[in-house]
Amino acid sequence: MKQVFTAIIEKDENGIYIVEVPSLRGCYTQGGTLDEAMKNIREVIEMCLEEQKDIPKYELVGIQKIEVSR
């Protein structure tokens, strides 16, 4: 059975790609390239699915940049 998950991908100040799947607890990884990060997140998703039985159904509403003063 195929499942589809939403992944959030960011790039840090060192050029490393960080990928997170919010609907799976602890499901995140990184990679030096986008391809590597995507390969890694697929592996992590499979591990998380083995551990987690109750997976909530989330719908991505949007992503917003928020500016705050410090």
pLDDT tens by residue, 38-60? 999 999 999 999 888 777 777 88
Q: Express each pLDDT in 19-28 by its tens digit.
A: 999 989 899 9
List the domain boundaries for the chain: 1-70
Is 3.40.50.1220 the CATH number for 1-70? no
Q: Looking at the whole model, is its pTM more than 0.75?
A: yes
* Residue 39 confidence (pLDDT): 98
Exposed, middle or buried: residue 38 (CB in 10 Å: 0-12, 13-18, 19+)? middle
Q: Is 26 left (phi over 0), alpha (psi -120 to 50) or beta?
A: left
Q: Give the mean pLDDT of the chain.
A: 92
Distance CA 50, CA 64 (A): 31
